[in-house]
Amino acid sequence: MFKNLTNTQKGIALALLGYSGFSISDASAKFLIGSYPVLLIVAYIMAAASIVLLLSSPWIGGFKKPAPGMARLHILRTIMNFLISVMIVYAFKNLQLTTAYTIVFAMPFIATLLAILIYREKVTAARWTALALGFTGVLIAMRPTGEGFDFALLLPLGAAFCLALKWIVSRSMQGESLFCMGFFPVAGTTAITLPLIWNDLQIPATEHFLLFVICGIGIATGVIALSIAYRSTPSAAVAPMHYSQMIWGLVFGYVIFSDLPDLWMMLGAAIIIGSGIYLIEKERSGF
């Protein structure tokens, strides 16, 4: 059945698979937070994902020596991945899945601003409109004034910035294999995190071991599926699938954690998603 799909349909299907993998990993990590320190969760998840990526390497390009000048970009992406992982898991400790996702959805707008600053890309009225609407949605969701503001919301916002910077860096790494692009930041995050928790290492309980494995598989699936999708399909078709994570967040949040987002958060999410799709469509049409 998959073979009968067009390239665009395959890209969309892979993107949905990838973001689903990330969402399943997120829900599992949030469940584990009550039993383990955040850095230990990050270390074990990234270690499991590294193993899955290694096993998958023959099908995703295998290891290749980084091209000249690429090593420092891999290091920068690794640092960004470490910061993203830590901030996201800390965010899950303090926030609902849907709340964290809503703020992380600011990433496309931050990436657009960075592209304007770094690559001197053209700034159109449509772009400014999408950016203004997107950040308005973020402000509504975060409610920076009054009793409703939660400083934990700065964690997914920081993760969104690091995600945007990681995406900008990746644009300069055309030609690197899918395996190297996925494996280096994941394994690098493991290498950074393990020394920080060395004195607090513990063997996961039997009932939690499978969850760590599921987290690792989810991360690896997301990395592989999205890398293939973005390389084989126009980004305008793939990028909106990011917002499918809100559906997973609502389902997992309600079923597993009995969480329901409030009206302001959902309003902010609706504005962010709508303006994000508008921005992607305008980028596709060249306006």
20-74 pLDDT tens trace: 999 999 999 999 999 999 999 999 999 999 999 999 988 888 877 777 778 899 9
- The alpha-helical segments, DSSP class H, found in 33-153 are 38-56, 70-94, 97-104, 107-119, 125-142
- Whether the pTM exceeds 0.85: the reply is yes
263-284 pLDDT tens trace: 888 999 999 999 988 887 766 6
* Helix %, strand %, coil % of the chain (to 5): 80, 0, 20
**What distance in Å separates the CA atoms of residue 129 and residue 133, rounded to the nearest whole number?**
6
Q: How many residues does the chain have?
A: 287
Rg (CA), the chain: 19
Q: Is 203 helix (H, G, I), strand (E, B) or coil?
A: coil
Domain membership flag for residue 130: yes
Note the pLDDT of residue 128. 83
For 53, 56, 118, 183, the CA distances from 209, given in Å and listed in that order, are 19, 21, 43, 22
- Average confidence (pLDDT) over 231-239: 80
For 118, 245, 279, 285, the CA distances from 126, given in Å and listed in that order, are 19, 25, 7, 11
The total number of structural domains that make up the chain: 1
Six-digit token pair at 48?
């499991």
Domain membership flag for residue 1: no
Domain membership flag for residue 30: yes
Q: Is the pLDDT of residue 146 over 60?
A: no
Q: Is the pLDDT of residue 287 over 60?
A: no
Note the pLDDT of residue 1. 63
Contact of 133 with 274, CB cutoff 8 Å? yes
Q: Is 66 helix (H, G, I), strand (E, B) or coil?
A: coil
Q: Is the pLDDT of residue 144 over 80?
A: no
Note the pLDDT of residue 70. 85
Range of the domain at 269: 9-285
**What distance in Å separates the CA atoms of residue 36 and residue 29, rounded to the nearest whole number?**
10
Note the pLDDT of residue 147. 59
Domain membership flag for residue 229: yes
Domain membership flag for residue 236: yes
Domain membership flag for residue 3: no
Contact of 97 with 257, CB cutoff 8 Å? yes
Q: Is the pLDDT of residue 175 over 80?
A: no
